Chains A and B, each alone.
Chain A
Amino acid sequence: MAFTAFAGGASAPAVEPAARRRSPIALFLLLPGIFYLVLFFVTPLISLVITSLQEPDPLIFGQYVNAFNWQNYVSVMEQYWSHALRSAGYAALATLFALLIGFPLAYFIGITLRPYPLVQSLALVLVIAPFFISFLLRTLAWKQIFSVEGPVAGILSSLGALPPGATITGTTFSVIFGLTYNFIPFMVLPIYATLVSLDLRLLEASNDLYGSPATTFRTVTLPLSAAGVMSGTLLTFIPAAGDYINASREFLGATDTAMIGNVIEANFLVLQNFPAAAALSLILMAFILVLVAAYVKRSGTEDLL
């Protein structure tokens, strides 16, 4: 087959159909993936949609029957719009802070440490080291550190920066802090991945063409690491918006810091209002999908998704 490409000469070579035809083998190879998606994504999604449209069973209290009760969506939005807004706000702030901390860190590891490969891999291990301990335990540890008897509160009160009776935990600050802390690695790793393969000769070329370090960063480094920033912000924002650990009362939050995730959790597990919880979940999903699509479109990196 390879020889026909050269032997063709002036006569038009016959079209090679075999390569273009959709082979049944490809479909066969895709089967496990399709099966996985149907089982773990499509099925729960359908079940969620059905649940979100259910209405209370008129006979048995606490049971729900299938219906087309779309008012569920309206009522949860009326009831919980402030939580939704708070979620978006907290997640956006946490993403911003994670970016502000994560980019310089990724830059340092990916570019500054490039001449020292050993230190570089060590630094990278340090970034992912927190994953060796459970997410819950780490968040609980921060609760301890920020608690009234903890060192941070102690120092702040002795300096008079913390009014008597005030706490660090259970505030907007501690929730956003927890979100930022927990998602920083998700920001650092994709940015690092783009920066580590950045051709430094391009920065030199910019320098040679009168680009000061700041200009070079803005016009060369940043655009060339945009894909990493993009996936980093998405990987941070999406889970942060739906997070229900950091904002919960058992961890770093309080009732007035509850995010949409906490509401969904409460509706599913405490209030057992399954349709409301399902409707909220779907709204959250749709909201994130729209936001992400708009973001990706704006950044012009369609091939990312």
Chain B
Amino acid sequence: MTNNEVPKSGFAEAGADLELVGISKRFPGFTAIEELDLTIPAGSFFALLGPSGCGKTTTLRLIAGLEEPTAGRILIGGKDVTATKAYQRPVNTVFQSYALFPHMTILQNVAFGLKRRGIQNADALAHEALQLVELDHVAGRKPTQLSGGQQQRVALARAVVNRPALLLLDEPLGALDLKLRRQMQVELKDIQSEVGLTFLHVTHDQEEAMTMADTVAVMNKGRIEQMGAPQDLYELPHTAFVAKFLGQSNLFTGDVISSSSTSIVIDAAGSKIEVPTARAQRTSGRVTVGVRPEKVTLHDSEPKPQSGRTVVGPGRITDVSFSGVSTQYEVTIPHLGAISVFAQNTSISTLHHDGDTVWLSWAVDHAFGLADEAEAEPISRFHADLDTSMIAVQTRKDLEAELEEA
């Protein structure tokens, strides 16, 4: 493959690794990406998570060659492609906006990339790809004659059919219902592992990112906040943003009052909270620590102090929402604030009620210490648009507050 030619080498034998070195992208008056360094090993499934407008699509566009970086280099399979044009890169994209060609049939859309590379049985391969997304029966239609979810699947097929060394997926399953989405996730994962292609998957759906990806990166305001295996990211978030963006977290801020080689203790509004030193990013001064809601246990009476467990309380249950498998409690502790607790509904007797006085405890090993401080009021009226579920929760709270006032 010479530099000014369309890659004709047929299908990728394996994925290529991707390396971004010091990438920045400035639009007039706006910095979308700042000093981004990222390495994705060949054959991995990499998920990029982040709130709306944090620069995910821009990152993909830079990699695809549809946008030029202001600074930095992009290497695909060890080759510097910063200066090459989009059509010369061994990369395909599933666009967030689908971008299906309206004047072509579905089949022609899917076969487009194959035909450009002069692949022989393009139509047969396109039919195969359409079968994969269960749309072969609409092969003869035009894109406008499909539903949004169907169009999205065509966009997926159009990119996947090329079996590129690096596939960029910009929220490729966003418009699908849960069942179809799960099914497509499995298909995608199969394609990826079968040929060992490299997938860079952008999504809003943390569950999707967690279940599919080998590595998850959380992006915020044009930077990668934290990167790692999904479990590590969930169990040990490094920043308040990651702690709140990836699932829910209860965060407490206070000064470190004692520290040893094994753990530190902070004083959060009178409650003493212990965190293993190994799980704390900072060990002195003012520190924010946190614990996941499902790690917290409810007690009807004050539990006996026990080494290796942090106890806070008493507090009052202010909200109970039952969701079948589990129940989410909101416990308000004076000075400390509201704490979420997820309790598995293992037996009926464990059900607590609104207004009950309770104590909370959790294993010290489950707590984590953050590198930065959570804002004083994590959920304000002017909420940052983190994700839709956060907004939904906030809206519901606002509504309830209004109803109470009335």
Contact = CB atoms under 8 A, between A and B. Distances in A.
A150 interface: no
Chain B interface size, under 10 / 10 to 19 / 20 to 34 / 35 or more: 20 to 34
A244 B159 CA distance: 55
A298 interface: no
Chain A interface size, under 10 / 10 to 19 / 20 to 34 / 35 or more: 10 to 19
Interface in B57-96: 64-66, 85-87, 91-93, 95
A75 interface: no
A205 B87 contact: no
A85 to B, nearest CB: 36
Nearest to B6: A210
B95 A209 contact: no
Contacts of B91: 208
Instruction: Determine which residue in A201, A216, A224 has the highest number of CB atoms from chain B within 10 A of its CB, and name it.
Output: A201
A256 interface: no
B97 interface: yes
B113 A210 contact: yes
Contacts of B87: 206-213, 216
B149 interface: no
Contacts of B103: 220, 223-224
B116 A208 contact: no
A208 B117 contact: no
A202 interface: yes
Contacts of A215: 116
Contacts of A205: 93, 95, 99-101
B6 A202 contact: no
A220 B101 contact: yes
A274 B93 CA distance: 67
Contacts of A199: 99
Nearest to B110: A209
Given A207-B87, A208-B87, A209-B116, A224 B95 contact: no
Contact of B101 (A202, A207, A212): A202
Given A210-B116, A212-B6, A204 B101 contact: no
Contacts of A220: 101, 103
Q: Is the interface of B mostly helix, strand, loop or mixed?
A: loop
B146 to A, nearest CB: 16
A88 B112 CA distance: 39
Contacts of A206: 87, 101, 112
B156 to A, nearest CB: 13
A201 B97 contact: yes
B158 A209 contact: yes
Given A199-B99, A224-B102, A224-B103, A209 B66 contact: no
Contacts of A207: 65-66, 85-87
Interface of B: 6-7, 64-66, 85-87, 91-93, 95, 97, 99-103, 112-113, 116-117, 158-159, 162
21 contacts: A201-B97, A201-B99, A202-B101, A204-B66, A204-B86, A204-B95, A205-B101, A206-B101, A207-B87, A208-B65, A208-B66, A209-B113, A209-B116, A210-B7, A210-B87, A210-B162, A211-B116, A212-B6, A212-B87, A215-B116, A220-B103
What are the 5 tightest A-B residue pairs by CB atom distance, in nearest-first order? A209-B113, A205-B99, A210-B116, A207-B86, A201-B99
Interface of A: 199, 201-202, 204-213, 215-216, 219-220, 223-224
Given A208-B91, A210-B113, 15 more contacts: A201-B97, A202-B99, A202-B102, A204-B66, A204-B86, A204-B99, A205-B93, A205-B95, A207-B65, A208-B65, A211-B87, A211-B112, A212-B87, A220-B101, A224-B103
